Amino acid sequence: MNDNNSYKLGKILLWIIAAYHVATGAMVIWSGDVSIRFAKLSYGWTVEGSPELGILGELLGCYAIAFGLMMAVAARDPVAYRSFITVGIVLVALRLVQRAWFAAKIMEVFEVSAGRHWAAFVFILLIGAALALFRFQIHRRTGEP
């Protein structure tokens, strides 16, 4: 059964993830000052701009845009592109491991409180759980891995 209309909530989630990554990737590439303010507003991070950080940000912005586009493709047809959803789950898992493993360093370097850091961690965890549930729903309905 390949009824994409039955996946509306999952598709909305994928579109939100896609839009977020394309927008933040573009922001980092084209406006370092705006991305620094965004980091403060969304994560509570204090970031000092530098030419080196700008170049690294531009590189990461390209990856964010590519990932966002991949999630947009998956949102258009989640059954056909379910492997892209799996990649999204892996990325979220890696982000969670990185945030947990380096929590003390992240809080120190970015001068962010533990509460703010772990709140962002839980938010990312919830996004990952929603993606995993959606991926499981596709598997359950199609019977395909």
- Secondary-structure breakdown of the chain: helix, strand, coil percentages, each rounded to the nearest 5: 85, 0, 15
| Domain boundaries, given as residue ranges, for the chain | 4-142
Q: Which two tokens stand for residue 17?
A: 């993830």
DSSP secondary structure, 25-70, as one string: HHHHHH-HHHHHHHHHHHH-------HHHHHHHHHHHHHHHHHHHH
Q: pLDDT-derived band of residue 4, with 50, 70 and 90 as boundaries?
A: low
| pLDDT single digits (tens) 54-90 | 888 899 999 999 999 999 999 999 999 999 999 999 9
pTM (two decimals): 0.88
